[in-house]
Amino acid sequence: MSSETTRPTRSEAGDSARTFLVVVDKSAELRAALRFACRRVIYSGGTVALYHAVPQTEFHHFSTIGELMDHEAKTESERLLQQIAAEVHRQIGKFPELYLRQGDTLVELQKVIREHPAISMLVLGAGSGSEGPGPIISAISGKLAGKLDIPVTIVPGDLNLDRIDALT
């Protein structure tokens, strides 16, 4: 057996440890991913976790201004996470785990998944517009292909709630 740390299997961790991680942003497709994850928890157990990364400010000329911009961005991100957490609570009756990181979204996402072995699935909403599915989905099917050790569920962002409920 290798010395590398492996994440427990579902049977080792138990159903209560199953966590569906949803990446939070301000996109319309977030609602589809969130609904899918919540319905999966209702029908199969586990919990929902929410992840959001605050980009690092590149404003270095005046440190005080950069610090203020970082603080405002973090405050706005915390507010967004709390709003989405309240929606999760309305849907499943319990609050989700929250992961707020500062830095590159993809790098920090990989760290969160590595650091929390109960996370068993990443749930993403895919954009349906001409701009494509979104940067995380593009990265997962490109440069991150095969680098995540959990399944990824991609929910079409334009699915209506009835269709999502029927699928879950």
Instruction: Check residue 140 and give its pLDDT.
Output: 86
Distance, CA of 6 to CA of 3 (rounded, Å): 9
Instruction: Check residue 65 and give its pLDDT.
Output: 66
Distance, CA of 39 to CA of 154 (rounded, Å): 15
Can you tell me which residue has the tokens 């999760």? Answer: 88
Strand pairing partners for 54?
102
Q: Is the dihedral of CA 77, 19, 7, 122 positive or negative?
A: negative
Instruction: Check residue 76 and give its pLDDT.
Output: 87
pTM of the shown model: 0.83
Instruction: Check residue 16 and give its pLDDT.
Output: 54
Q: What are phi and psi of 106, to 5 degrees?
A: -70, -40
Walk me through the domains of the chain, giving residue ranges and CATH numbers. 14-167 (3.40.50.620)
| List of residues 6+ apart from 97 with CB closer than 8 A | 19, 47, 48, 49, 50, 116
- Residues in the chain where the model's pLDDT stays below 50: 1-5, 7, 9-11, 15
Residue-wise pLDDT for 73-111, tens only, equals: 778 889 999 999 999 999 999 999 999 999 999 999 999
